Chains A and B, each alone.
Chain A
Amino acid sequence: MADKATIIVHSGDMDKVSSALIIANGALAMGMEVSLFFTFWGLQRLKKGGLEKGPLSKMNMLGLGKWMVKRKMKKAGVVSLERMMQDFKELGGKILACDMTMEIMGIKQEDLREELISDYCAVGTYLNEARESKITLFI
């Protein structure tokens, strides 16, 4: 069985979601299995049209900081979150959505991009995946 990485995406900040997807795609590229568990603010990014909507975790300055960083990222050739998400799915990555967050925040399945999501679940599923993972991260 391949080595596995399990990442909790708790933050919905643009830069942190970006880090999570870069690590996830790197792990898939190196032959690992990867599960991303989206919860709390992270889950907001799975809403339809929500992936790129997160603020910058520092120096967002009402969006000005994010705009500047995005411009620099584009200049450096960094691909979009959407592109990384498509690569993640193409390489066989698995996305889990936290159903408790959905309940608390009043998010329905049809509000989310269901085509990306493998399962709706809770802490037990995360632990079951994490206990057999070589790498687990909380982002």
Chain B
Amino acid sequence: MAEIKVDCRGETCPVPLVETRKALRKAKEGDVVEVIGTHPSSKKEIPMAVKALGLELLNVEETDGVWKIRIKR
């Protein structure tokens, strides 16, 4: 099982969402995709996309305006 990191710091709508989706498409089942970013709405919306895609949201955390979201494919 691989861990794929996506760095979207400084990117704005819709890039964090799109880059998350690209990474999830490339990931194999069981892989973990970790996205970090700073765009505030994406912190809420990436979990919405994860739910819509029927995948597992592992955790969401934020320190000093930088959030990290972990998703299991």
Contact = CB atoms under 8 A, between A and B. Distances in A.
Interface of A: 22, 25-26, 28-31, 76-79, 84, 87, 90-91
Interface string B7-46: 0001111110110111001000000000000000000000
Closest 9 CB pairs of A and B: A29-B21, A29-B17, A31-B53, A30-B49, A77-B12, A30-B52, A26-B14, A25-B14, A87-B18
Contacts, number: 45
Contacts of B58: none
8 contacts: A25-B14, A26-B13, A29-B18, A30-B21, A31-B49, A77-B11, A90-B22, A91-B22
A91 B18 CA distance: 8
Interface residues of B, number: 17
A78 B49 CA distance: 21
B29 to A, nearest CB: 16
Q: Chain B interface secondary structure, helix, strand, loop or mixed? A: helix
B15 to A, nearest CB: 6
B18 A31 contact: no
Nearest to A92: B25
B11 A29 contact: no
Nearest to A24: B14
B10 A77 contact: yes
Contacts of A30: 17, 21, 48-49, 52-53
A28 B14 CA distance: 11
Nearest to A31: B53
Contacts of A77: 10-12, 15
Given A30-B48, A91-B25, A76 B12 contact: yes
Contact of A28 (B11, B12, B13, B21): B21
A22 B12 CA distance: 11
Contacts of B14: 22, 25-26, 29, 84
A87 B21 CA distance: 10
